[in-house]
Each structure stands twice: as C-alpha cells, then as structure tokens.
Structure 1
Amino acid sequence: MKLELVHSDICGPINPTSNGGSRYFMTFTDDFSRKTWIYIMKEKSAAFANFKTFKALVEKESGCSILCLRSDRGGEYTSNEFNEYCSAEGIK
C-alpha cells in the first residue's frame, strides 16, 4: 500500500556546496512504489521542516497516510519534537 512504509536518509556534507550554499540532501522513498523525493538543505536542522512539507505533499497527492518512517535513527530523526510529531500523526 502506498506510503505504508517510507525510508528516509540524510547525506552530506557534500563538497563543493551547491550554488545556493546547500551542503546536504534528504531523501524519502516510498517502499511500495519506490518513488523517491529529494530535498536539498543548507543545514541538517532543516530535516524536520522538510519532513512536514513532504508529508503534507504526498498525503494530499495520494489520499494515503504515512504509517511508518524508517531511518538510520540519526539525531535529526530522534529529537523530541520529531518524535512527538510522529506520535501525534500516528507514524511509527
């Protein structure tokens, strides 16, 4: 089922930086369709905002909800703010 399981990772810092100064990118891959979305970031601290943007986009487009987010459990994914948001949204 679409969005039942979404994989995410952050890569970087990348050298050289982009023309806009971005040094990282964040990926989201739907396990069912294998479709991947990429968000470019200047700092890792943008990860939570990018996840909320991604979630709103794909849930509106598909009519499905993200049920499970799988990551490497890096600090960007394990903050209290991120965990509380996922819990409130029913994401494991």
Structure 2
Amino acid sequence: MLLQLALASMALAAPTMHVEKANAWQYGTGGGIVGFVVLILDLIVIIEVLQSTRPVSHKVGWSLLIFLFPIIGIILYWLFSNREQHKAAGGYEAIP
C-alpha cells in the first residue's frame, strides 16, 4: 500500500508544462541525481531503524518521519535518535 501511495504521489507531481532543456539538478519528476541520493540515504536510515532495539512504536514513528519528510527526517534522526544506545547487538562478542 505504501508503494502504491508513493507511485501515485510521483505521478501527481509530474510536471505538466513543456520544457525544452531538462536539467536533472534543477528540474525533474523525481529530483534527478539529488533525489536518488536522498532515496538511498532514506533506505539506509530506515533499515538502521528497523534493525535497532527500539520499541515498535518508536520504530514506526521514526520510519514515518523519514518517509513523510525525507531530508528533515534524516537530519532529525541523526541528531536526536541516540543511535549508540539502540544499536543492535549483532556481530561478534568481545573476548574478555
């Protein structure tokens, strides 16, 4: 369902006026290269949130914030999320 909403929002955001020279940096349906970089960063942050030891309600809250406000959500997550405390306990254990 989220994928359908995302695709529908991209279809509605498509420009209707004619542009002779489309520059990916300043004009485009999905934002061009900048949009792609933001998408990759969003996916990395959402995967990190889902793998953390946070309660489910906090995971949903952070994921919604990042989904609805991609750039602001990433900045707020990296500034205020206390990532070290909620880091998943995966990997190797230290040898005493």
Q: What is the TM-score of this pair, normalised by structure 1?
A: 0.27
- Quick check: which one's strand share is greater? 1
- The answer to which structure has the higher helix fraction is 2
Q: Which has the higher contact order (CA 8 A, sep 6+)?
A: 1
Larger Cα-atom Rg: 2
Q: TM-score, normalised by structure 2?
A: 0.26
